[in-house]
Amino acid sequence: MTEVANPLLGMHAAIFRPLAQYDAGALAAAGASASASASASSSGAPLSPPSPAQQWRPEECVSVGQALHMYTIGAAYACAREYRLGQLRRCWAADLPVMDRDVVRAPAELVRARVTQVFVAGQRRK
């Protein structure tokens, strides 16, 4: 199995704690791009929110807000750059993706989300 390094899948895993692994081959077979626009587990099953019986340590699931914090402010802190990165603030380096769906209101969609625009240091990249 090839490991997938994708922050959207990492957030999905933190929120839902699925027992199924994210398999790059299964993702590709399901028609996913490198950004994991579709989803499948190593067994080929779709990665929708799992039932508690399908979760690994469900008591450790985090909220969407906590997952966003971990991947933004928390990541900036881990790099000792929390004074300049990790938040959308005036005069800060603004790197952010724009998604094709609202993953905050529907976090199960993290595995299907496509990045439609990217801003690096406040500038739109193509």
Rounded CA separation 27/41 (Å): 7
pLDDT at 27: 53
Please count the CA atoms within 13 angstroms of the CA of 72 that sit on its side-chain side: 15
21 contacts: CB under 8 Å, gap ≥ 6:
1, 41, 42
Percent above pLDDT 90 for the chain:
29
Query: Which pLDDT tens digit goes with each residue over 64-109?
Result: 999 999 999 999 999 999 999 889 888 888 788 999 999 999 998 8
What average pLDDT does range 42-63 have in this prediction? 68
Rounded CA separation 98/16 (Å): 22
